[in-house]
Amino acid sequence: MTQMYASLMYIQTRHPYGDIPGQPSQAPASASNSAAAALTNGDASQQQSHPTRNTTEQRTEPPSTPPPEQPDVFNSALRELAQDLVLKEQQMEIIINSLPGLGNSEADQENLMRRYEIELRDAEAERSQAEEERERMVGVLGEVINKVRRVP
């Protein structure tokens, strides 16, 4: 999901603007064009009242927005992103197909669970026996230590 989100964000922020015949361009103006556009749009009074104001503040996009890619660079990046997403999808399919239970009937899965429960009970019994043996050995070791202290 992270890779897909990053791909979508790249496409959204770096796409080149297209020209539609008969329509005005919607591409953001460059910094030099934005100052000229601001003066022609009636913002000259704002420019005169704030002579120290930087003209880059007139931009319509935030300064952190990267500039659009060139069409050939953008298309090659799109192709690479698409290949990466397809590869990731294929990797997920392999993992999903290797999961246990797929291709097994419900009865087979229940039998497998019963077998695992029996193995778990056996392992728990072995653990209990080992715990008892440990406790017994701690007791024997304690007796040996007490006898060693009593020797004159």
Which residue has better confidence, 40 or 105? 105
Q: Tell whether pTM > 0.75.
A: no
Q: How confident is the model at residue 62 (pLDDT cuts 50, 70, 90)?
A: low
- How does 65-97 read in b/e, with b if 16+ C-beta sit within 10 Å? eeeebeeeebeeebeebeeeeeeeeeeeeeeee
CA angle 107, 109, 114 (to 5 degrees): 95
Query: Does the pLDDT of residue 39 top 90, yes or no?
Result: no
Average pLDDT over every residue of 123-128: 97
Query: Does the pLDDT of residue 133 top 90, yes or no?
Result: yes
Query: Does the pLDDT of residue 33 top 60, yes or no?
Result: no
Domain boundaries, the chain: 2-16+26-97, 105-152
Per-residue pLDDT at 99: 78
- Report the sign of the C-alpha dihedral through residues 101, 107, 110, 112, in that order: negative
Average pLDDT over every residue of 25-51: 47
Per-residue pLDDT at 1: 85
Q: Which one-letter DSSP state was computed for residue 65?
A: S
Per-residue pLDDT at 10: 87
Q: How confident is the model at residue 14 (pLDDT cuts 50, 70, 90)?
A: confident
Contact (Cβ atoms closer than 8 angstroms) between residue 83 and residue 75: no
**Residue 78 Cα to chain centre, angstroms:** 19
For residues 59 and 65, give the distance between their C-alpha atoms in angstroms, rounded to a whole number: 11
